[in-house]
Amino acid sequence: MQLITAHTSKGFTLIEVLVTFLITTVGLLGLAALQVNTMNDQFEAIQRAQITAMVDDMAARIRMNPAAAGAGAYAEDLLEGTGGYYGLLEVSSECSAITAVRRDLCEWNRTIAGAARMSKGQNMASPLGARGCIHSGSASASGEVVIRVSIAWQGMTKSVIPAVTCSLGEYGSENLRRTIYRDVAVR
C-alpha cells in the first residue's frame, strides 16, 4: 500500500521568515550596543593616556625644581582665579615672559586646557572638564615633602568613585569623576 500525500511543503512560511527576522534583529542590536560600548571605552582610554602624560609632565617639572617644591611654591603659587584648579582659566597665549614655578604652572594650565590645538577659538585637545590639582603635604622629620599632582576629568560611564579629592563634587555624580595622580617626594 502506497501513501499519497496531497500537499508537499516547499519554501518558507511567513511565520518562519518573521522568526528569522526577529532573531537577526536582536543579534544586530547586540552588535550595535557592543560597538557603542567599545567606542566609549576607547574614548576613555585616549583620555586616560592624555591625562597620564600631563600628570607625568608636571611631576617631572616639580622634580626638576626641588627647592621651590620643598618650599611649597607649586601648591601655594596658584595662578589667580583658579581656586586650586588648573585648566579653568583663560589660557594666556604666551608663558615665556613668566619664570620658574609660575611658568611651569602656566604651561601645565595650557596643556590641561587643550590650548595646543585650537579650532575657531575652541581648545580641542583637552579631555572632558579636565582640572588639575597640586597639594603639598607637610615635611617629614628628614625634610622630605610629598607633593600630589593630580588631574580629574569627566568620564562617559559610571565607575568606582576615586579616592583622590581633586575636583570633588564638580561633575554631578561622583561615579563619573576620573582621577590620575602622582606623588612626588622632594627634599
Q: Is the pLDDT of residue 109 over 50?
A: yes
First-last CA distance in the chain = 105
- Strand order, beta sheet including 131-136: 131-136, 145-154, 177-186
Q: pTM of the full predicted structure? A: 0.74
CA distances from 154 to 45, 96, 108, 123, 171 (A): 13, 30, 19, 16, 6
Q: Report the distance separating Cα 181 and Cα 152, nearest Å.
A: 9
Q: Compute the average pLDDT of residues 29-40.
A: 94
For the chain, give percent helix, strand, coil, nearest 5: 40, 15, 40
Q: Work out the angle at residue 110's Cα, subtended by the Cα atoms of residues 168 and 75, and round it to the nearest 5 degrees.
A: 50
C-alpha torsion 55→59→61→62, nearest 10: 140
Provide the pLDDT confidence category of residue 170 given band limits of 50, 70 and 90: confident
Residue 160 scores a pLDDT above 80: yes
Angle at the Cα of 152 (from 111 to 145), degrees rounded to 5? 85
Query: What CA–CA distance (Å, rounded) separates 60 from 55?
Result: 9
- pLDDT confidence band for 108 (50 / 70 / 90): confident
Among residues 187, 161, 185, 182, the alpha carbon closest in space to that of 173 is found at: 161
Decide if pLDDT at 55 tops 90. yes
Cβ atoms of residues 51 and 180 within 8 Å: yes
Most confidently modeled of 26-40, 108-122, 133-147, 157-171? Answer: 26-40
Inform me whether the pLDDT recorded for 150 exceeds 80. Answer: yes
Give the integer Cα–Cα distance in Å for 37 and 42.
9
